[in-house]
Amino acid sequence: MKCLSYNQTILPNLLGHTSQREAVMKMSFFNSIVQTVCSADIQLFLCRVYAPECVEGRVQRPCKSFCEKARRNCEGLISNFGVSWPNELNCNAFPDDMCISVRHEN
pLDDT at 24 over 60: yes
pLDDT of residue 10: 87
pLDDT of residue 103: 56
Q: What is the distance between the alpha carbons of residues 77 and 84, in angstroms, rounded to a whole number?
A: 10
Mind listing the domains of the chain with CATH numbers?
20-101 (1.10.2000.10)
Please state, rounded to an integer, the average pLDDT across all residues of the chain: 87
Sequence-separated (6 or more) residues with CB below 8 Å from residue 100: 48, 53, 60, 61, 62, 63, 66
From the number of C-beta atoms within 10 Å of its C-beta (0-12, 13-18, 19+), residue 106 rates as exposed
pLDDT in tens, 69-82: 999 999 998 898 88
Sequence-separated (6 or more) residues with CB below 8 Å from residue 25: none
pLDDT-based confidence at residue 39 (cuts at 50, 70, 90)? confident
Question: What is the average per-residue pLDDT within 58-65?
Answer: 93
